[in-house]
Structure 1
């Protein structure tokens, strides 16, 4: 007498061969469809199993090349500059030295205090005062903010 298990297909095998439940097959959906529909119903499971083994062999070599996002630990393709999940930078951006060959950057030591609070006043104090006066003269009463006191909104 045949057992019930002989007539019931193995659900774990079916879920492994289903692209909706297997991410490896989902990523290779075109290949899965070609194998699935080009084989007769009796040979589909075996053909898809063979495809799955082939995909696993191929992806084994790719795993070493994947870049892991330092922010969210998501695995990304080596061609990505930013994480596909969180958008974080995958590779540190290094400044290029001498990006424009026509210009050269020269660093000159600065004399005097580096703290702006300790910096001396401008030599042309009259020019500074002239600029202040000119700025305040150009402002008329319409430019000044209008202050009418406090306003409260009380709800109940």
Structure 2
């Protein structure tokens, strides 16, 4: 396994469509990853349910938080949709970490693993810990995706989130 460099990520974007719908390629490519940006934010309006085999999985209802250029988020938990559509081959996975400025402002981003074979416009959770809240601009860079090449190709992701939000 090896972490992909910014140059390798750029080549995969240009040749294989690793990422599309980005805001500014030169700004978003980092030495060891790619910054993903904020498209929309939602309040959770209900309870979720998680089980072993997903047969009784329920996601909370959402209410979109309206904003044009900026949005103020008081302390709480939110779901956010990213601008970028990620398309991973069967030999690449990704993990994400919050941007350090977001952390310094008293907020964090919760993510899951991007499995090899995943394609979609991902959603993440934003947790605002700061008692005074946080202001986020549309297209703010909120996470950095780190891509890892697997030691060998694997069966690609086939879960319910494959292809999520591509048309939205």
The answer, yes or no, to whether TM exceeds 0.5 is no
Task: Tell me which of the two structures has the higher relative contact order, counting C-alpha pairs closer than 8 angstroms and 6 or more residues apart.
Answer: 2
TM bracket, shorter-chain basis = under 0.3
Greater CA radius of gyration, 1 or 2? 1
| TM-score (structure 2 length as normaliser) | 0.19
As a proportion of its length, which structure holds more strand? 2
As a proportion of its length, which structure holds more helix? 1
| TM-score (structure 1 length as normaliser) | 0.20
